Amino acid sequence: MALISINPASGETLREFKEWSAGEVQRVLDDVHVAWSAWRYIELSERGKHMSRLASVLRGQRDDLAKIISLEMGKPIMEARAEVEKCAMVCEHSAAHAAEFLSPEFLGSDASRSYVRFDPLGVILAVMPWNFPFWQVFRFAAPALMAGNGVLLKHASNTTWCSLSIEGLLVQSGFPEDVFRSVLAGSSLVAGIIANPKIAGVTLTGSAAAGRAVGEAAGRALKKTVMELGGSDPFIVLKDADLDFAAGQATLSRTLNCGQSCIAAKRFIVEKPVLEPFLTRFRERMEALVVGDPLSEETQVGPLARPDLREQLHRQVERSVQQGAEVVLGGKPVPGPGAFYLPTILTGVKPGMPAFDEELFGPVASIIAAEDAEEALQLANDTAFGLGASLWTQNTERAEKLAGRVEAGAVFINGFVKSDPRLPFGGVKESGYGRELSAYGIREFVNIKTVWVR
């Protein structure tokens, strides 16, 4: 079997990689476990030097790495460069703050001295998706490595070139051999890897279905897991919002990475008094987007990552229309080569339609009318997901009170949802559990150890 990288803008085969056997995976896992056994005892300051060098290497090769990202999964080249820069940022942040985040916490007890240590947990299996093929990996791996863990990466099959490139970057940065390795394995081997006693925990970014499968395997093996499983983020426009600003940010949030982002705004819930003026502004901006070759500097929306993903998205749009939604812009694939889909706006979207209930992974915006702020909140929470949400209003004091009622792992007020190395990232409900980034993220895969001294 081969893992094939295909350019989604043209359909051209870029590279083929031989899929590993279970025995080959086992040998690499053994090597990572040996490497971790030494890495865990390396001083934090020394780990930080490696991580800082990694940030420099990323920036030094930014353009070449961005081209690989754009070729393999279709991200516009400007966004790919920004993704590489963000990876460098999380490396720098992890290097700078790991000592603070992992320093012992002294607590009162009946001992003369008692405190909590944060020790490395072991080798962590990372099952990562294709949509941000560098950032998703670094978002987890930089903190995990700084905490003293080893990393075994099972990347999406269609981004194997990215996976091996990341491994190469760590080697170039002077990390010990085998402390981070990529395995070229299909999903059929994941359960067996999780069951291996040399795996201490699992992190997954992917679909809810993938989360259930990985969670079941990890549960049987009693392994710690962190899950980020996507979302259907509400973008709540209240009647006192700055509509020009909100419409511009709505366009960016819905079409960044061709709409293939777990934290992209997907359901645009708008109070009725401003529905039409918001829609007019939003449509103008969506209609003006440049769709095309992701390697072009002018392109704002590239292709979806695979043809089957475009077909799935179009079926969701068609089913929503059959149930009463109206297409006011786009609503169909772009003819010709590549997995392109037109920026799309659906109005009249209601609960029960795929455009409301399901995650639409592509440049399709669902417009939902709300009588008032109270109904807007009800609609926002009427979902199986709970990753991010945004509120748009000029009354930020009121918005902060409303934020407490939104069922999501993050609420952004007058800003579209994004991940930031300084802030915890993760969701609730079917969007997963656990957190990445900040002090909360680095402590997910450590042994929180009590030490009691008489």
Q: What is the tens place of the pLDDT at every residue in 304-322?
A: 999 999 999 999 999 999 9
pLDDT at 356: 98
Sequence-ordered list of residues with C-beta below 8 angstroms from that of 83, at least 6 positions apart, any chain? 66, 69, 75, 132, 134, 135
**Alpha carbon distances (Å) from 95 to 32, 83, 120, 202, 346:** 21, 19, 16, 22, 44
Location of structure tokens 């201490």 = 200
Sequence-ordered list of residues with C-beta below 8 angstroms from that of 259, at least 6 positions apart, any chain? 360, 361, 362, 363, 364
| DSSP string of 354-381, one letter each residue | HHHHS---SSEEEEEEESSHHHHHHHHH
For the chain, the first-to-last Cα distance in angstroms comes to 60
Pick from 203, 333, 321: nearest CA to 258: 333
CB 22 within 8 A of CB 192: yes
Model confidence at 245: pLDDT above 80? yes
| DSSP string of 220-256, one letter each residue | HHT-EEEEE----EEEEE-TTS-HHHHHHHHHHHHHG
Radius of gyration of the chain (CA): 22
Model confidence at 56: pLDDT above 90? yes
Give me the helix-helix angle, 135-146 and 44-60, nearest 10°. Answer: 160
Here the tokens at position 19 are 């899929």
Model confidence at 335: pLDDT above 90? yes
Q: Residue 250: which pLDDT band, with cuts at 50, 70 and 90?
A: very high
Model confidence at 200: pLDDT above 80? yes
Model confidence at 188: pLDDT above 90? yes
Spatial separation of the C-alpha atoms in residues 339 and 305, rounded to whole Å:
7
Q: Residue 223: which pLDDT band, with cuts at 50, 70 and 90?
A: very high
Spatial separation of the C-alpha atoms in residues 372 and 193, rounded to whole Å:
50
CB 390 within 8 A of CB 399: no
pLDDT tens per residue, range 287-305: 999 999 999 999 999 999 9
- Residue 297: other Cβ atoms inside 10 A: 8
Could you give the percent of the chain with pLDDT greater than 70? 100
Q: What is the mean pLDDT of the chain?
A: 98
**Alpha carbon distances (Å) from 142 to 150, 151, 177, 398:** 11, 10, 16, 37
Active-site residues, by number, are: 228, 262
Pick from 382, 374, 372: nearest CA to 349: 382
Q: What does the pLDDT average to over 7-25?
A: 97
Burial class (CB in 10 A: 0-12, 13-18, 19+), 449: exposed
The separation between CA 381 and the C-alpha centre of its own chain, rounded to angstroms, equals 21
Model confidence at 1: pLDDT above 80? no
DSSP H helical ranges for 61-129: 62-73, 77-102
Q: What does the pLDDT average to over 399-403?
A: 98
Largest interatomic CA distance in the chain: 75
Which structural domains are found in the chain, ordered by start? Answer: 2-230+429-453 (3.40.605.10), 233-384+388-413 (3.40.309.10)
pLDDT tens per residue, range 96-137: 999 999 999 999 999 999 999 999 999 999 999 999 999 999
H or E element in which residue 211 lies = helix 208-221
pTM of the model: 0.97
Here the tokens at position 320 are 């929503």
